[in-house]
Structure 1
């Protein structure tokens, strides 16, 4: 009976892992962009770049000049100063004297029935001059001066409602940073691949575009006002469809964020991100959960069979199981390598296989803690 269960776990794991790696994640890994021009229908439709900022003086001092280097003819920048107690307000006043297209609105308090970032974004969107809204965070930098043009193209030209982009993290020489790089690429594999499969379920607010008119038409964050986080993934989860959503797989359309430098800071951040998944639709929870579930079954069954056949000196069966494990490892390396080059134009971080194995504990332990957490907050 024990041997049967090991083979059963291993077999189920193999099948589901193969579907995810080849059929689903392969859509991103081997994606080929069309040669369609991005300057055909409404190349000069106005865009508002929106940033909600709380005590982000140091980051805004760098970000604002960078935004005005963008090669796009008609855009403005809206900074929502959310209850900042640092020098943010003074900086914005000085910057608005330098950059005429910079605008700001200041929030002095947040109503009790709403969460702070959603309130800040809603206010910013309401007063935005343009219908096309491009969202990012204060600690994010566009990777090229084509960011606005390329990220907004599906919304401006193809009549899409949502345009999903990628935001990576600065590379630093640490074990934590290598894990962050791995987990960021894996997350992108999830939401890009399902969107390419006409089944989108999330996006990241560090690089996300949609129309103001749509946001106002659905009454913004109605139904999720009270939830901390989810201003990006839960909003996309509610309204994105295979017809109204596009992905932008182009290194020039990315942003780069400042990574957390301690495990404590990182875990607090990820707990907030994973907590939002609690409120996804059931089908979307399955999209996320089946991969780590099959991942666990694969390793439990595979390692168990290796021990069983090794102890019993059944070397042919041992070699067959080991061969399947090595084949999956090779496939994981290929998927991550190809996907990373497509998404960010460079090779993936080191320790892919080690991090792939560690993902087992990360998802189930941190995911369970985040699911039950009640102390989630933005800033």
Structure 2
């Protein structure tokens, strides 16, 4: 019986290894070879930058000038002050006097009707005067004064959705490394999927789409009851091979600080993971198989080593996968400004698959009722 268990574990370990190879070679290698356009194309498409902000006075004061002072000829910035009870209104009033292209939409708290981010964004989209919309958050800083230009240049193609990248700032802690690694892995997944003609998500910290697409799709109506999903669910439902493109030039990144403690990170991830079960079936399967095979790969690796069942072969398979990861990830992580994480790849990859399966399970049972 014991021999049977060992053999079954080894066979399953090899099967998970093959699945992981498929994801690495078939899904991720194309992103490794992708080269963003270096030339800064002249573009003059009117753009509306939209930011939903709840109690973000400090962040607005610090980051909003970098958005209001972009090197772009024709744009407005629409900030939705969503039921804030800090000094956001005062900060925005001061900025409105300084920047005529800043528009403020104010939502006041209602005792019976509690609003979420999707409601705020919908009002901001309705208030926007331009067809092409660019979204970010109040705590995000553009990578350059050419952020809008880089993102807007993609609308010169037939694209209606532009997926941008929003990395977390680096700091010296394990939690920061894990959060950044998870964000990079997510980006590798959704950028690779888009390049392979099957886009399935984007992040609201750096995302663009057209007003026509938003209203023709009836906005967030199909998932308005969910606190999250204003970005990834919208993209999942409406992105296609023909209407979606990506922008990966460093000047088009938007940066934000990662959570610094476990409780705030848990609250954020609980909200994010809760919408995954509403993805299209094929996308749920794709993500679930990757998550499950990666988790089982490490669990079965440990089991095989503990029971000394073909230990040299098991270690050889592990090392081969690791080398292949480094070869493919080295180019990809460099594009995503995360080269430093490669030094800790085995540990981070192991923790990533443990945590992503744990959060995925918790999200099945936990309901989130607040967006901020």
Q: How far has the Cα of 1:145 moved from its partner?
A: 1.2
Matched with 1:14 is 17
Matched with 2:209 is 210
1:170/1:256 contact within 8 Å kept? yes
1:168/1:181 contact within 8 Å kept? yes
Q: How far has the Cα of 1:351 moved from its partner?
A: 2.1
Q: Distance in 2 between matches of 1:158 and 1:18?
A: 34
CA RMSD of aligned residues (A): 1.9
Q: How far has the Cα of 1:158 moved from its partner?
A: 0.5
Matched with 2:304 is 305
Q: How far has the Cα of 1:309 moved from its partner?
A: 3.7
Asked if 1:75 corresponds to 2:75, the answer is: yes
Matched with 1:61 is 61
TM score, norm. by length of structure 1: 0.92
Q: How does 1:224-303 map to 2 (within 5 A)?
A: 224-303=223-302
Change (3 A) 1:106 1:17: same
Q: How does 1:150-165 map to 2 (within 5 A)?
A: 150-154=150-154, 156-165=155-164
Matched with 1:31 is 34
Gaps of 5+ in 1: 311-316
Change (3 A) 1:251 1:345: farther
Change (3 A) 1:115 1:198: farther
Number of aligned pairs? 369
Q: Distance in 1 between matches of 2:34 and 2:255?
A: 21
Q: How far has the Cα of 1:298 moved from its partner?
A: 2.0
Asked if 1:360 corresponds to 2:363, the answer is: no
Q: Distance in 2 between matches of 1:55 and 1:191?
A: 30
Change (3 A) 1:114 1:122: farther
| Most deviating of 115-124 and 341-350 | 341-350
Within the candidate set 314, 327, 336, 1:343 is matched to 336
Matched with 2:94 is 94
Gaps of 5+ in 2: none
TM score, norm. by length of structure 2: 0.94
| Most deviating of 131-140 and 166-175 | 166-175
User: Which digits, 9 at most, give the CA deviation of each residue in 1:228-270, with x for residues without a partner?
Assistant: 1000000101100111111112111110012111111001101
User: Which digits, 9 at most, give the CA deviation of each residue in 1:200-232, with x for residues without a partner?
Assistant: 110000000000121112211111111110000
Q: Distance in 2 between matches of 1:103 and 1:35?
A: 32
Q: Distance in 2 between matches of 1:302 and 1:25?
A: 23
